Structure formats: C-alpha cells, structure tokens
Amino acid sequence: MSPLGPFAPRREPETPDVASGQIPGLPGAPVRTPVRAGQAATSAGLWPAIAGRLITRQLWIELYGLPGYGLTLGPVLGGGKVTAFAATPRDFRPHDSAPGKNLLVGRFILAGASMEVEPPSDPWNRPSPSRPFAVELHAFNWLPALMAQGERGAREALRLTLAWADAFARWSPFAWGPEILPRRVINLACAARRMGAVATEAERLRLADSLARQTRQLLRPPGGLATRAERLTAAAIGGCVLAGAPGQGLRRRALGGLAGALRVTVHDDGSHASRSPEAGLELLLDLLTLDDALAQLSEPTPQPVSEAIDRLTQGLRLLTLPDGRLAGFQGGGPSSAARVAAARAHDEAATASRAADPTHPPVGRIGGLVRIASPLLSIVADAASPARGAWGATACAQPLALEIACGKDRLVTGSGWTPAATDRQALRLTPGHSTLTLGERSLNEPLGGWKGELLGPRLVGPPIHVTTDQREAEGAVWLEMEHDGWNEAFGLNHQRRLYLDQRLDELRAEEKLFPTPGRKEVIRQIAAPYAIRFHLEPGVQASLARDRRSILLRGASGRGWWFRTDGPDVAIEPSVHIDAGLTRRSLQIVVRGSARTDSESRIRWKLSPAGASGDPS
C-alpha cells in the first residue's frame, strides 16, 4: 500500500526558466535579469556514492520487503515482549492545541493542505493531497494537538495509531524511511503512556508492540550519516518509554552509537554539520526530550549527550535574533519565537547575561555564520562554503548572504527555504538570498533526476572557497568576506565589506568584483551583468524616493530605515518567502549593473535610521 497515494507525481528539482524570465518558486514575480542555474556536471566524486547507494538501497528494499521480515522486529527475535510503558518523556516543542478540535471530527490540515476523514474512517487508505502533507501525516506531527484534547483526544489518537499499525505493519520505503520514522517514534513515545491509560489490555499490548517494532527499525540501516544522530536519539527515547528488558536493551544500543553520531553532527562551536541553525534547534529539542526521559528512569544522561546539549545551546544563543527567531541560512528557516524560547528555557547563562546587560546583543562566529551588532542593528552573514556530500542535501548556494534585523524588525532576509518546501528547490540557488549574482547564474544547484532521487537533492557544482577578516575598534566593527565562486565562469572574485558604526547604528557596505589574481586565462567575456538582492521580510514596506537611489523601509514597529546605494539601477521587485512551509509574498530590493571582467567594479550601499521627518537627506 502506498502511503502517498496518487498525489502530484514527484518532480526533479526545478531550475529557473530562462525563456520566461521567471524563477520557479517566485510565482508571478517578473525578473528583468533572468537567472539560470550553472551547467554543473555531476562530479566524479559522486559516482562511488551513487554505486554504493544503488546496491544498498535495492538490498534493503528486497530484504525489508520480505513477508517474514516483520518477525525480526517482533518479540521472538527482536528482544522480548513489551507489556508496559516506563516513562512519559516531555515534548519540549510548543504545540497549538486548536488543530486538535478539527482532528476529532476527521479534519486533517497539514503543510497547507487538508483532508476530510469522517470517523470511524481513517486517512491511511486515502491518497494524500501532497508529499509534504503525507510527511506530516505519517510522522504523526498531528498527535500532540490531538492529545491536548483530553481523554477523548487520547482515545482518537489510539484509534488512528492502531489503524496505522494495521495498514503499515510491513516495512515500506516511505512510511518507514529515515525522513519520517524518527519523528513518528518521538511523537508516539511522548504520548504512549497516556494513550495506554485509555486503552484496553489488548490495545495497550498492540500499541507497545508497534512502538517497539519501529524503535528497533531505527537501529538498522538504511539511514545515512546526516540523519544518524536524529535516528539514534529517537531510538533512545523509544527505549526509555518501553518497560523492562526490551526497552533497556534498545536504549543501551542507541546510546552506545549516539556518542559517535553527536561528535560528527555537533561541532565544537555548537553548530550543526549541515550549517542549518534550525537543524541544530530541532536536534537540541530532541536531546532535551531524551534527557528528560532518562531522568524519569533515574538514569544519568551520558556525558556526550550533555555536552552536545551545552554546545547546541551556546550556538542557539548566538543565532537567535532580537525578534526571538533564528537566523535563516542553509536550509534552516527562522522557526518560531515560542519554539526557540522552549529550547532556551534551560539556558541559565543567557538569562544571567541578559539580566546583567539587556542592551548588549551577542556577537561572534558559529558554523561559518558571523554575527555583528550594535544597540539597534543585528547582522548575520554567511561566511563559509555550503555543506557538501550527505550534509549538502539542504545546503544553499548563497555565499556572503546577509540577514539584518533593525531593533526587533527583521528587514533583510532570505527566501526562508527549508526541506519542507520540496517543490521550491529554485530558492536554494544564489538569487534566493541577499547576496550578489553574476551573469544570470547560480553558483551551485541541487542534484536532480535519478541521481537526486537516489542520493537526495544535495548541492553539486564547483567548490566555493570563502575567506573572512574581522576587526574591531572603539564603536565600530569591520567585516570583510570574499569568495571565488565566480572564478571559473567570469574570472572574478566577489568581496563584501561591511562597516558597522555602533554609535550611529549605521551599516555601510561595499561590494567589490575584481579579477581573480593569476587567473586571467579564465576570462570569458569583457563584461558581466550583476544583481545584488536584498530580500525583505514579508510585511516590510518599501518606498522608492525621488532620487531613485534611496528606499525607505518600515517594519512592523513602524520605525523607518533608509537604504541608499550608488548602484546604477535600483528597483523594488516582487519576491516570495517560505514561512512554516507556506509561500508568502514579499518584496526585494535589487541593485543592477554591469561589471568589467578585466578591472575592479565597486558598488556601495548603506542602511541608517530615518529621521523624524523621513527625509533621505
């Protein structure tokens, strides 16, 4: 049985349409300089990974698809029969209980789509309206809202869970895959004891058996390096919930492998190996749940887990902007202020720091993201190369991209693309964030076709080398970043220089394009059109002044900020922003011109507070 049903067939990652002058994912947004992906061929280094995945994927599909495979997950060969639940782990993620009322009457609203299923029917034998909907449905991300409806919600959750167990008792690549199974196990583990309280003895045994089977599967391939820490954390949580020797054996195996997985996934500075701030947040929330589950069993939290929690918390502290949400880079969205606050509730160091000096924002560098700040301005810059290999499945080709918050107003941002927006792959290209593009190209692009289906939509293309230099003085910060991504196509390097006047709350910047030293032979043409984009947060108002060089920006607070530039062509154009998987309309400032490939080109711009009169002078 297919868990997806005949919803729209899965497509290859989109590439921008040059003929139409539009970027897929920016519906109705005219682009005067069409942007197309670079002609990146599959790297020779991918072929070993492709060959290995072809062999192993087919092996696991055939093995796990055998009629008798389910017996290996059961009590006979899988570690004994589970008859009770031992813990009720706390889900630290905040959940809105309102959707639970819809679920009680069979109305599923997930990932921007909906399905009506009148009880006592269930959604498992029906086609899902979209793949994101199917992911949310089979990950049981609706379960917390339903459990918030009291005993009636718990009974309906139990009914739907057991119906799923009947429909998908046999392994399938989607419903039992590494993208979905860890989330479903965690959601079930946090609710299992309360569901068991309203179940009959037979139902409780079926529920425990289903959770045990899924937890055991998490300890088996396939999975991959990029999801290993998430899978083992989920397996350890499941092992904490299952009572007796079976649960103890599962959590020991999971915790035994988790230490190594966390060393690879969580870097010393607190960054996630994917370079996505949101990925670090989600892993931190899972680890906090595991820590709580172990505490309920009066078992100590392993040191590698505690250290990972501390490092991720440190990183989260730096990457939280004044509006309480995350900086959005490298496939990570801003998340929500409530979600971030829940993950930071245990952060005593941050609480003490804010109490001592609430006006002093954090600054520093983590995972290639650099944050500089003044009392009113917070700037985060992407000063490193995109993640490669297995970690590159969510990477974005957007070096030197910026996010700028003015007070609590997030003004300059990116497209907000996350893996939930599977049909918006074009937003991972260079024009999808606030940086510079050359010659209608993207530096890298997602792997598509059958290779992308096999390895995931990892970013492929020439390597991008990024260098940074940061200096500080009394009341000022300089940040210089440079990358060579445009070297092969145009023989040019891009340098972005930022000067933050902390006393005036003024950001001055210079974009410089210059011939790559010692690489004159790669010059293809005498000039290259450039476009410097500044994507604006949805809801930000932008008004072009009479001088055609200044734009007045106003966020939700109403405070005005002037954007000024000496670029030859300045325009306000439509854009889009992905928010919680949904597409919202927004605006972007675009500065266009033409750069020579045999000499330097410089474009300056500035962001400063508007006076009381709003006069650009």
In total, the chain counts a number of residues equal to: 617
Percent of the chain with pLDDT over 70: 85
Position 13 pLDDT exceeds 70: no
pLDDT exceeds 60 at position 615: no
Sign of CA dihedral 99, 105, 108, 109: negative
> For 486-505, how does the pLDDT look when each residue is reduced to its tens digit (9 = 90+)?
998 899 999 999 999 999 99
- Select the more confidently predicted residue: 449 or 357: 449
- What per-residue confidence (pLDDT) applies to 264? 97
The pLDDT value given to residue 50: 72
Tell me the CA distances in angstroms from 542 to 295, 405, 508, one per residue in order: 51, 15, 19
Q: What is the pLDDT of residues 134-161, one digit of tens each?
A: 999 999 999 999 999 999 999 999 999 9
Query: What pLDDT is attached to residue 23?
Result: 37
Cα 613 from Cα 338, distance rounded (Å): 36
Distance CA 515, CA 524 (A): 12
Residue 11 has pLDDT above 90, yes or no: no
159/199 Cα distance (integer angstroms): 9
Give residue 22's pLDDT band: very low, low, confident or very high (50, 70, 90).
Answer: very low
pLDDT of 278 > 70? The answer is yes
Contact 230, 258 (CB under 8 A): no
User: And the tokens for 126?
Assistant: 């029906």
Does residue 170 carry a pLDDT above 90?
no
| Selected residue with higher pLDDT from 415 and 3 | 415
Could you count the other beta carbons within 10 Å of the beta carbon of residue 292? 19
Quote the pLDDT of residue 448.
Answer: 85
Task: Convert the pLDDT of each residue in 366-382 to its tens digit.
Answer: 999 999 999 999 999 99
pLDDT grade, residue 573 (50/70/90)? very high
- Count the neighbouring beta carbons within 10 Å of the beta carbon of residue 430: 27
Q: Whole-model pTM?
A: 0.90
Task: Say what the pLDDT of residue 612 is.
Answer: 46
> Is 126's pLDDT higher than 70?
yes
Q: How far is CA 446 from the centre of its chain?
A: 15
Phi, psi of 473 (to 5 degrees): -140, 180
Provide the mean pLDDT of the chain: 87
- Exposed, middle or buried: residue 192 (CB in 10 Å: 0-12, 13-18, 19+)? buried
Q: Is the pLDDT of residue 582 over 90?
A: no
pLDDT band at 5 (very low <50, low <70, confident <90, very high): very low
% residues pLDDT > 90 (the chain): 72
Distance CA 500, CA 38 (A): 34
Show the beta-strand stretches assigned E in 427-465: 436-438, 441-442, 445-446, 459-460
Backbone angles phi, psi at 551, to 5 degrees: -130, 125
Contact partners, residue 289, CB within 8 Å, separation at least 6 = 89, 90, 91, 92, 186, 190, 237
**From 211-220, 349-358, 466-475, 568-577, the region with the lowest mean pLDDT:** 349-358
Tell me the pLDDT band of 78, cut-offs 50, 70 and 90. Answer: low
Query: Residue 344: pLDDT above 50?
Result: yes
Strand partners, 382: 369
Expressed in angstroms, the distance from the first to the final Cα of the chain is 67
Give tens-digit pLDDT for 589-608.
999 999 999 899 999 999 99
Which residue is listed with tokens 């501390």? 310
Please give the biggest Cα pair distance in the chain.
79
- Residue 531 pLDDT greater than 70, yes or no: yes
Which DSSP state fits 150? H
* 488 or 553: which leads in pLDDT: 553
Q: What is the mean pLDDT of residues 83-97?
A: 94
Alpha helices for 482-577 (secondary structure H): 487-490
The answer to whether residue 93 scores a pLDDT higher than 70 is yes
* Cis peptide bond N-terminal to 222, omega within 30: yes
Our measurement of the distance from residue 69's CA atom to the centroid of its chain's CA atoms, rounded to an integer in Å, reads: 34
